[in-house]
Structure formats: structure tokens, C-alpha cells
Structure 1
Amino acid sequence: MTSASAPTTSSAPRLSMPQVLLCGALIVTLSMGIRHGFGLFLQPITMDRGWTRETFAFALAIQNIAWGLAGPFTGMLADRFGPFRVLMAGGLLYALGLVLMALSTSGLAFTGSAGLLIGIAQSGTTFAVIYGVIARNVDPAKRSWAMGVAAAAGSFGQFLMVPVSNWLIGSNGWQDALFILACMSLITIPLAFGLREPKTAAASPHAHSQSILQALREAFGYRSFQLLMAGYFVCGFQVVFIGVHMPSYLKDQGLSPQVATYALALIGLFNVFGTYAAGSLGQRFPKRYILSCIYGLRSVAIVAFLTAPLTPTSVYLFSAVMGLLWLSTIPPTNAVLAQIFGIQHMAMLSGFVFLSHQIGSFLGVWLGGRLYDQTGSYDIVWWLAVGLGVMAALVNLPVREGPIHRPLPA
């Protein structure tokens, strides 16, 4: 049967690569940086409001699932109309969610603001939308590297914003800290102008044009897409559980709050190097092997952390190692998607894969709070994260990275 490969190129770039990387990286830095500091708010908010940890954890679990569910739709809008409007709306919703998060006096209101609103806002200000712009405007030979740069920016945001959030809480109180972060999130809006593509950019000529339904039917029926989604589920479970619950876990073990702050900052710092390295290595080595190694090494790192004596030094070593592996799954996963399916529906397909990530995030953050309230310990969830990491290392090995073959149009 005559067939055509998935297109991996488009017409000449509409925006310059430095402009795309600078504006995209700064947006991801803000969005991801603010998000990564939410774990620092767990104890002050629950103690002030008289809530259980599960109440806070459930709201962040809803945040992650809302982010995931909204991702495919924001991706569709960005593919169809360009990222500018999506980023503008995302920045406004992010600020509104943070303000209402500070004003919430009930668990339901907190879930609606910190959970639903901020989750939707993150879907429009993070990787799916930014990677769609990168895929359309960066040469395929540099695409994996460019995605690594954007992911590294998100990591730098964690390194930068976690200490900022901790300082704001300590000096202004948790409510005013959220108001200040809301103002900072509005910086997304002027940055969005740097990613404003011409109206034809998202609909540039392709060798094989597909409708949305055709693209979804093709992707979900393709084995490698299913395997990438399974691996991304594990990624979400691990990183969100650790990011939200590790500060409280360390405090429960008698370590000072500063240790948790430094630990989260170290994860962000070392992930700058890890994500950049993963994106660069994806230009030279099979991405499925990179992904398999990342998931396997995460499990090894968690086992070593749980079995070694818990000291500030062991926490910092664990944070540095996990930092190298933290968001490093993002560049190879998205680069594989573009390589297999082309760029026409890149943001949408990235959004669906990320939905799987967020289902894992929901379970990781919620089970952390739920099982802690029931057992007084995080042990079960730690070991569950280990087992899932081994599974993810195995399921990524059979992924086929070559372009999918499609019948030539008549």
C-alpha cells in the first residue's frame, strides 16, 4: 500500500527561534515556578483554616486533573487559532485563581479556586501550548533541544520561585503571599505578545492534512502513543506526590522547614541541567531509551532515599538526583510525538498525553494526603512510586519513534 510519513516540517518559521524560546521560557518559568511552591502553603493554610491535609491535597489533586482535562482543549484552540489568546486567558485565570485561593474559607471554595481555576489556567500557560509554538517555529533538527530549553526554564522557575514563595510566606503571611504571586502571574500577558503568530501559522500547509477526529482516532489506536501515555501517568504520580508532600514528610521526621525549602530549590536547580541534557541527548540517541533510564533511575533514587538514614545531607543528595530526572521526561516525550505524528495537531496530542500525566498527579497528591490521614505515614505511597517507576521503565522500551505511515490522499 502506498503510504506517506507523518510530516515533520512546515513552511518557513513565522517567529524567530530566540524570540520563541525567550518568551516561551519566561512564561513556563512563571507558571511552573508558582505551582511548585504550593507545597509550602500546605501547613500554614491547613493550620490557619483548621482543615485536614486531605482537604488541601484534594484541592491540588483537582488542580492537576483539571489541568489535564483542559489540556487537550486548550491545545486544540492553540493549534487552530494560535497560542496568543490562550496564553492571555491563562494568565488572567491564574491571577484570579490565586486571589480566590487566598480568600477561600471553606474546603469547597478552596477546591474551586486552587483546584479548578488554577488547573485550567496552567493548561493554557505551560508545556502543551508552548511546545506547539516550538514545533511550528523551530527546525526539526533542533526541536528536541529547544523543548529541553523550555523544560529547563520550568525547572529554573522552581529553583527561583520556591525560595521566593517561602520568603513571601515568612515575611507577609500566606494570604498576602498569594496576592503577590497573583500579580506576578499577570506578567504572562505581555510575554504572550512575543508568541503571537500570524493567523495562518497554526494552519500552515501540511503534506497530509487531518481533521481533529482523524488525528485522535489515529493516535489513540497507535500502540506507541498508548505506551507514552502510560509512562507519563507514572511521571505525574511521582513528581507531584514528592513536590507537594515532601515538605510535610521532612517536617514530620523532625527536620527544619528550611531543609524542605532547600530541597525543592535543589530539585529545580538540578532539573535545569537534567531537562536540558534530556533534550540535547534526544537529538542523538533513541528517546525511548532516555525515557526508560529516567524512570528506572527515579525508582533507584527513591529506594536509596527511603533506606538511608534521613539527614539534611541525604535529603539534599536525593533532591539533586531527583532534580536531574524531574521534568526530563518532557522533552523526549513531546519530541517523539512530533516525530511520529507531525506538527499539525501537536499541542492537542501533547495535551492528551499530559492528561494521563495529570491523572497520575491526581492520584499521587490525593493518595498522599488520604493515606497519611489514615495511617499517619507516607510509606505506602513512597513504595508505590517505586513500583510504578519500574513499570514505566519497561513500557517505554517498545515505543516506535519513526513517523507513522498514512495512506496518500487521492
Structure 2
Amino acid sequence: MRTLVILGSATMLAACGGDTGAQSAGSVAPPTGPAATHSFVNPTETKTYEGLGGVQSYDYSTRSDQGYQDGQLYAADANTARSSGISVAYNPRDAIFELTISQPLGNVEVAAFRFQDPQHRTDFDGAVGPQAGVPEFAANKQIQYLQADAATDTGSALSGNDPLADGAERSDYFVGAAGSSSTVNTLFYQKPGTTTKYVTYAGFVRNVLSANEVSEDGAPPALQQNYGLDRAAFVFGERTANGAVPKTGSASFTGDMIASMVFNPMGDTDPGFPSYLQWIEGSNTTSVDFASLAVTTELTGTVHAPTLDAYTSWASALPAGSRFAASATATLDLINKGGFTGSFDKASFTRPGMDDFTVSIAGSSLDGAFFGPNGEEIGAGFRIVGGTPDERIDIVGAFTGKK
């Protein structure tokens, strides 16, 4: 389990992209007492939110004299509305974001990581941008990117002419010479107020990379690249007090969805087939019947390209542009669950140039809550776990919605 503690000072968190303004965050706690001047879009008070979503981690290594991923260790976990394990604190006076993740079942621990330097703000517009594995969204989504190194000792990167770098030229990740290491953390989130006023969605990417030289049985030395890849997708915002959630009638909520995924169904037919992490970007429609306590959710999305490593085949069972669809049902239980909980009954992918793929679901979860003074918006986290033997398919995600 990788644990990271970084503390820093103030930073100015203006919106990335030039003209979208400074960023802000509000509180997850239900409102109490007189109305405050704070708001989620334009806060005036320091607040801490609980996140609702999930995490995944994938650790392995590759070698310049081999063509497969070795020492694979994968884990994931999704939290509930009452047991978060994710928090985001925002101080509007000093414009500091601080992220904490503690989800040991998913092998992801981030201890009070602060984004503090003005240059932590980044985007995809220039030569310097977010690290490999961070999804690039359409400009109208107004996604803000904050990125920082932590405990980094970076050696020289290999050139394409280095004989040990053969097979590394297509790697999206940093490829280092023996003795090099790199740890980079990225928090991204949709600017509050873009599509929803009281809740927003966010993601986290941490790549822990290193390299060492290995030699066996008198063979020429080979270069080993080591990968520790963490991902998270979650929502955070100003939760609705239980008493303010409607008790009668029904409502339909629509909004955005993101998810991080590993998709490798090739274990039986090609045991050396690599597993890559990919993002899904899309939307959701959720219907809530407050009287009967029934909730239904439909998700649709488009799959981003996989993030490739060094020395593997770069083959992917799920090409960029594949379409994702899933449906779930849940039950509203504010007293015991703090929102709604349920599971998925189907999930599938439509793949360009390949057969459609239906996920055999072994386990799944949907955990959501209401946001805003009177439940005007929703936010939820979810997980879908594939159940076919010798497949590694796992999706963790989050979505927001408004009436």
C-alpha cells in the first residue's frame, strides 16, 4: 500500500483554460442553523467535503527483454454515502485544495495532499500538460487540472536510440534509465456551476514509476520498468439534509458521468495480453420515485484510449471510441443509508470493428446522495465487476445530475 503525505502553503487556484475564473468548493455536511454566506460555486468559508465514488490500483512491471506485464497486483473499492474514505478540503482565503483518500481495500492511500504552487494548475493547451493517464475532456466541460510531484527523484529518461529503450518508444508513461523514479499526482474536477450548482465530479491519477537493471544467468542486462498506478472517480458537494429531501412525487435527473476501467477479457485465449487503464466519459439519466423509494439509472459513455506502457504489445481489447451502456436499480433509504443504494443488472460495450461485448457481472454497487437545499441535484458513485473466469474487467465511476 502506497501512503503519501505532502503539506504545503497557499496557492491561487484560478480556473484552467484562461477565462473560466478561480475555483471553489463547499461543504458536504447537511446545512444547520441560519443560512450562511458560503456557496458551493462562490465559497467564503473553509469547507471539507466527503467524496462519493471509488478507487482502483494496478501494480506491475515490464522488462526490455520480455513482452508482458509481470508481478500484477490489482485492487479496487467503492465507498458508500455513510463510509466515504475520500475527502476534499478547500480554503477560499488561501485558495488551497487538499485531497485525502483512505481506501485500503482498493490499495489507495493519499494523506492530506495539498496542491499549493500556482504552477500546479495545468491544462492540455501547451507543451506542458497533465501526466499520462489523465483524461482530456471537451472544452465546454470546464475541467480544472491540478498536478504536483511528490517525493520525486527523477533520473535521466532513455532516448529512442538507447538499445535498452527498444520497445519503449510508444509508452505513454515516463521511461527512465536504471535508478530513475517519478511520482506525480493529478486532481481534476469540473468547475462548480458548469452543469450543477451543489455537486461536482472529480478524478485522481497517481503514477508511481521507477526503473532498475536486471540480469539473469549471464544474459545481457535488461531494464525493468515498475508501475504503481492509482485512479479515483468521485463526486463531492453540499449534501441535502434528510428532512429537506422530497417525500412524495418523482423527479428525473440528468448529468455527466466519468469512470476509470481495466478491461482485459483475454486471459484464457492469450494469457500474456496486457491490462491497461482507460477512462470513460459520458452521461446519466436517473429517475427517483420519492413515494415508492424506487431509483433507476441509465449510463452511457465513450471509452478513451488506453494508457500504454513500455515493452508490451500495446494491444487493446477495447478500442478508443467504444460505447459503454449500463443500467441499475436502487432503493432510497435516507435514514439507514444516507441516500440510495443498489446494483447493476446489465453493462455492455459496442466496439468499433469488433464484436459487441456484454459484461458478465459478478458484483456491483450504486451509492448516491442528494445535494442542494431541497434535493435539487444528485451525485453517486458506482462499481461494476466482471465475473467471467480469467478476465480482468472492473469499472469504478461517478456521476452528477440535476432536475
Structure 1-normalised TM-score? 0.30
TM-score normalised per structure 2: 0.30
Relative to its length, the structure with more helix (as a share) is: 1
The structure in which a higher percent of residues are strand is 2
If asked which structure has higher relative contact order (CA below 8 Å, sep 6+), I would say 1
